[in-house]
A and B are shown apart, each in its own frame.
Chain A
C-alpha cells in the first residue's frame, strides 16, 4: 500500500517537473535550472519576434511554422533562426531542405537576412524524401539547425499520390535525431494541411501582411498557447550578426546606366 502511494507520488513529481514546477528547489538549483533552460533556447536577435515566443527564442527540438499556403513569413523567421545559429561560431553549419520543383530559396534574400550561404547546405529533394534527407542530415551531427520547407499542401485531386508527405513517424525520427546531436529542426508547413498532432516543441501559426508578420503560438510543450503578436518586418535583423547594415547603394532598379535614363516611379494609378 505504502509502495503504491510512493510510486504515485513519484509519478506526480515527474509530471510536475515536466511542467516546469520544481518542488523545494533552492535558489542555487533554480539558477542552475534557469541557466540550463537558457542554453536550450536560441535567441533569434529579433526582439519583437522574441517577445511573441513563449521562451523568447527558439527551443530545442522540432518547431513547426504553419502559414496559409506555406507563405506567411515562415521563411523570414527561419532565415533569422539560421542567422542566429550561424552566429554561434564560424564552424556552425545549417541545412535547408526544400521540395524539388517547388518554390526555391532566393539567394539575394539570404544575403539580406545576414545568412552566410557558404554555411548553409541547400538540398532539393522529392517531397517523399524530405523526411529521410532531414534525418540523414541530422544524423551526421554536423548541423545546428535543419529547416524543412514542406511547401504548400498538395490537394487530394492532384496527380501526386497521397500519403507521400511528412508524417508523424518522420517528424519523430527527426526529433530523435536532433535530440542526439542537440540540433534544432524547423518545419515550414501549410496551415491548411491538417494532420495528426506531431511530436514537436512548438507550433507557430504565422500570416504575412505587407509590413508585418502576425505570429500566434498554437502549440507549446508546456501549454503556453494562444499568445499572438504582430511583428513589424522593418525590425527584422539584416546583414551578418555584429555588422552594421551596409551603406552600399541599392542594386539599381533598371538594367541601364543611371546617367542615360532617369528613374520614374509609376504611380498607383498606372499599375
Chain B
C-alpha cells in the first residue's frame, strides 16, 4: 500500500472570509476622498494616515496624506500586511466577529503570532496582552470541511481513494491512496536505463517506473495543493498513519528537514518511523511526558525497549504504536465520496455590488471548481451561480423608492415582523460542451454577470456544476496544429448563450413537420442531428422544385388579398394539424409564391375564408 498524507498546517487561517475589497488593485485614487482600498500592496510603501484597525490584513477606509500632492497615485498598505493573525473556530452558527470577546480561545495562529508567544488555546485577552495589533478572524467548521473536501476531490486525479480528517489546529490531513498509480507519472525511457543488459521483466519495469514516478507524483500533488492556496507538507509512505506522522514532523520542523515533501521507499517505513521524535508518534501528551522523563527522545529509542515493558508503559495506545514502530501500518482509509454536483462557496466579509469585485471572487470560485472537476475527470455543462443578497439592504432600497414615489405621504410604514437576512438569486449558464478550464468558465460567468442587475449587495457566492459530463480528450496530431475553430467556437457559443439566453444560439435543422413554421428549428450547436423519418427526403434540389422561403416571419403577417400576385403554386394543405385549430374544424390552405408590392413572398391563402397571410420572404 502506498499512501500520500497531505498535512495542512494553516488551513484555518487560509479559510477565512474574503473581503471583496481585496478583489482589485486600485492604481489610481482621488487623494482628497476617503477611499475604499482594494488591495494590499506592500511594495508601494506609501504612507497611510488613517487605518481602520478592525481587520489585520486589509483596510476598509483610508485617507491619503503625505507625498502624493493633489494628483492621483497608487495606494500601498504596508502596515496592514504585517499584522499577526489568529483564528477562532465558531462554536455556533450565528456567531460573528462581534461575539469575539476576550475569553474566547484561539484555534490557530500564524507563524508571526507564534514568534511573539501567542499559541492556539490562549484566550483573545491573553493574546492581545502579548500583541495588541493581533487580528482575530472567525472560521466555521463547515468552511474547514469544505476546504478539505475540495482538496480531497482534486486529489482524485492522483489516486482512486481519498480520505480526510479534521484534527486539532495544524494537523488537518488529506490522504490519497496512490497504490499502483505512481508509474503513470514516470518517464519510461529513463526508468529503463538500468536494464541495459537484459530484457526486464514486467514486474521489474513496473517497480522501476513506480520508483521514478513517486517523486514526480508528489511534486505535482504539491503544486496542485499550492495552486489552491494552501501551505502543505506531503509524505508518501506505506500507510496512512506513518505518512501523516512524517508529514507532521516536517511541519513542526522536528526532523530538521526543510523540504516539505518526503518519499519513503517501499520497505523503508520502519527506518522512517525510527527517525521520528516522540512527539511525532500518535501518543497522548501524558505518555509522551513520562517517556521523556525516562530519557527517551526518539521512536528508535522507544523501539529498542523490551516489548513486555513497553506494553505496560504505553497502555491502550500500545496496540497502535507497536506495529507503527515496526513499520507496519494497515490502518484503513474511510473513502470520501464527492457530492454529485460539485460546488464552491465564498462568504464575503461585507456586501458588494461591484461587478469587478464579484468578477474577482468568481475567479477564485472557478479556479477551485475547476480543480474539483479536474480531479474527477469531468467537465461542466451547466453552471449555476447562486448570489446571496443582503435582504435588508434590498428592503431598505425598496422602502426608499416607495417613499419617494408617494411623496404626499408624510410617514413611511415600517414592517414590524422579522426581516429576512438574505435572499437568493440564481444565474444559470449552459455550456455547449464540457468545460474544464477555469479561464473559460470565468469568461462565461463574467458575461452572465455583466447582464445582471443586482438589486442589493452580494454577501456570498456559490458556484455549482449542476450538470457535468466526462471530459472529452481529443487526440492531437504531432504534425498538424489544433484547429482554431475547435478551440474557439465552444467558448464563443457558451459566451453567447450566457449573454443572449437559451434558444438564441445554435444551428438550423429540419423539423419533422408539414407545417412550414415548424419545418425549420434552431437546435444547440453541438447537438447530434436527429434522423428524419424515412419518408422525409428533405427539400428537393431540382430547379423545378417549389421555392422555399429564404426567411420565415416569426408570425404570419395578414395582408390584403388584392395585393397578392401569385406566380407559382407551392403546396396545398388540408386538415393540417386540425387538432390544434381553435375551432377544431379542418382547414384548406394554398401556399403560393407571389409578389407583394414588388417583394417576392411565400403567401398562405385560407380557402375557407379567403384570408391571405405572408409566411416568409423569397429573399
Question: Which of B41-49, B303-311, B462-470, B565-573 binds A?
Answer: B565-573
CA distance A63 to B428 in the complex (A): 37
Q: For chain B residues 474-493, which have a beta carbon within 8 Å of chain A?
A: 483-489, 491-493
> At the interface with chain A, which of B21-29, B342-350, B391-399, B591-599?
B591-599
- Selecting from A117-125, A168-176, A191-199, the interface stretch reads A117-125
Q: Are A208 and B618 also in contact (CB < 8 A) when A71-B599, A251-B538 are? A: yes
Binary flags per residue of A208-242, CB closer than 8 Å to B gives 1, else 0: 11100000000000000000000000100011000
* A-chain residues with CB within 8 Å of residue B569 when the two chains form the complex: 253, 265-266
CA A210 – CA B566 in complex, angstroms? 10
The reply to whether B551 and A75 contact each other, CB–CB distance below 8 Å, is: yes
A1 within 8 A of B: no
Which of B499, B507, B510 is the one whose CB lies under 8 Å from A122? B507
- In the complex, which residues of chain A have a beta carbon less than 8 angstroms from the beta carbon of B541? 112, 114, 238-239, 245-246, 248
Interface of B with A (CB < 8 Å)?
Answer: 483-489, 491-493, 495-496, 499-500, 504-511, 514, 519-522, 525, 529, 536-546, 548-554, 564, 566-576, 590, 592-593, 595, 598-600, 605, 616-619
Shortest Cβ distance from residue A264 to the other chain B in the assembled complex, whole angstroms? 8
Do B548 and A108 touch across chains, with their CB atoms under 8 A apart? yes
Inside 8 A of B525's CB, which chain A residues have their CB? 121
Contacts A123-B496, A245-B541; is A210 near B508 (CB within 8 Å)?
A: no
Kindly state the separation between the CA atoms of A93 and B570 in the bound complex, as whole angstroms: 32
Query: Are B567 and A122 within 8 A (Cβ)?
Result: no
Among residues of B, the one whose C-beta sits closest to the C-beta of A211 is B567
What separation, in Å, do the CA atoms of A234 and B537 have in the docked complex?
22
Give A79's nearest chain B residue, CB to CB.
B550
B489 near A140: Cβ-Cβ < 8 Å: yes
A76-B550, A121-B525 are known contacts. Are A271 and B619 too (CB-CB below 8 A)? no
Q: Supply 17 further A-B pairs (C-beta < 8 A) apart from A122-B522, A123-B496, A271-B590.
A: A71-B599, A72-B599, A104-B552, A107-B508, A108-B539, A108-B548, A109-B550, A124-B504, A124-B505, A142-B492, A238-B543, A250-B544, A251-B546, A254-B571, A254-B572, A254-B573, A271-B566
- Whether the pair A76, B488 counts as a contact (CB closer than 8 A) is no
Is residue A2 contacting chain B, with contact meaning CB distance below 8 A? no
23 A/B residue pairs, CB under 8 Å, sorted by A: A67-B619, A72-B599, A100-B504, A103-B554, A103-B616, A104-B554, A106-B616, A107-B510, A108-B510, A109-B539, A112-B545, A112-B548, A114-B541, A121-B506, A125-B500, A125-B504, A126-B500, A141-B484, A234-B543, A251-B536, A251-B537, A253-B546, A253-B571
Residues of A within 8 A of B617 (CB): 71, 103
User: Which of A105, A207, A255, A266 lies in contact with B551, CB distance below 8 A?
Assistant: A105
- Tell me which residues across on chain B come within 8 A of A255, comparing CB atoms: 514, 573-576
Is residue A54 within 8 Å, beta carbon to beta carbon, of the partner chain?
no
Nearest residue (CB) in A for B543 is: A234
Are B567 and A210 within 8 A (Cβ)? yes
The residues of B that contact A110 with a CB separation of less than 8 Å are 508
CA distance A271 to B566 in the complex (A): 8
Option from A91, A124, A141, A250 in Cβ contact (under 8 Å) with B545: A250
Give the residue name and chain of the A residue nearest to B485 (CB).
A142
Q: Identify which of A102, A111, A149 gathers the most chain B CB atoms within 10 Å of its CB.
A: A111
A268 touches B619 (CB 8 A): no
Q: Could you tell me if A248 and B505 are in contact, using CB atoms closer than 8 angstroms?
A: no
Q: Are A248 and B496 in contact (CB under 8 A)?
A: no
Q: With contacts A93-B485, A122-B508 known, is A210 near B554, CB below 8 A?
A: no
A254 CA / B544 CA spacing, docked (Å): 17
Given A121-B489, A254-B571, A266-B569, decide whether A112 and B539 contact each other with a Cβ distance below 8 A. Answer: yes
Pick from A117, A126, A208, A249: contact of B537, CB under 8 Å: A249
Contacting pair B554 A254 (CB below 8 A): no
Give the chain B neighbours of A136 by CB distance below 8 A: 492, 495-496
Tell me the complex Cα distance, A254–B548, Å. Answer: 15
Checking A133, A238, A268, A271 against B496 with a beta-carbon cut-off of 8 angstroms, the contacting residue is A133
Using Cβ atoms and an 8 Å threshold, which residues of chain A touch B567?
Answer: 210
Is there a chain B Cβ closer than 8 Å to A33's Cβ? Answer: no
A208→B619 contact, CB < 8 A: yes
Return the chain A residue nearest B523 by Cβ: A117
The answer to whether B550 and A106 touch across the interface, beta carbons within 8 angstroms, is: yes
How far, in whole Å, are A92 and B486 apart by their CA atoms in the complex? 11
Closest to A74 in B: B619
Q: B551 to chain A: which residues have CB within 8 Å? A: 71, 75, 103-106, 149
- Whether A106 lies near B520 (C-beta < 8 A) is yes
Is A15 positioned at the interface, with any CB of B under 8 Å from its CB? no
Contact yes or no, B570 A118, CB < 8 A:
no
- Judged by a CB distance under 8 angstroms, whether A137 is at the interface is yes
Q: How far is the CB of B202 from chain A (nearest CB, A)?
A: 42
Q: Is the CB of B538 within 8 A of A117?
A: no
A73 to chain B, nearest CB (A): 6
Contacts of B529 in A (CB 8 A): 118
User: Contact check: which of A118, A140, A248 meets B488 at CB < 8 Å?
Assistant: A140
Q: Which 3 A-B pairs have the closest CB atoms?
A: A107-B520, A250-B540, A103-B551
Which chain A residues (119-149) contact chain B, with CB distance < 8 Å? 120-126, 129, 133, 136-137, 140-142, 149
Contact of A129 with B500 at beta-carbon distance under 8 Å, contacts A91-B483, A142-B484, A254-B573 already known: yes
Docked complex Cα distance between A97 and B550 (Å) = 15
Identify B554's interface contact among A102, A114, A246, CB under 8 A.
A102
CB distance from A160 to the nearest CB of B (A): 15
Distance from A74 Cβ to chain B, minimum over Cβ atoms (Å): 6
- Could you say which of B488, B550, B574, B618 contacts A141, with CB atoms under 8 Å apart? B488
CB pair B488 A142 closer than 8 Å: yes
Query: A53 vs B550: C-alpha distance in the bound complex, in angstroms?
Result: 22
B548-A106 in contact (CB<8A): yes
Q: How far is the CA of A105 from the CA of B506 in the complex (A)?
A: 12
A28 beta carbon closer than 8 Å to chain B: no
Is A6 close to B, CB under 8 A? no
Whether B514 and A246, one on each chain, are in contact in the complex, defined by CB atoms closer than 8 angstroms, is: no
CA distance A105 to B485 in the complex (A): 23
Q: Is the CB of A248 within 8 A of B540?
A: yes
For the complex, is A164 an interface residue (Cβ under 8 Å from B)?
A: no
Are A73's CB and B540's CB within 8 A? Answer: no
List residues of chain B with CB within 8 A of the CB of A112: 539-541, 545, 548
A253 touches which one: B506, B570, B593, B616 (CB < 8 A)? B570
Q: Is the CB of B514 within 8 A of A121?
A: no
Bound-state CA distance A150–B38 (Å) is 43
Query: A68 and B598: CB pair below 8 A?
Result: yes
Complex Cα distance, B512 from A107, in Å, reads 12
Contact A121 B507 (CB under 8 A): yes
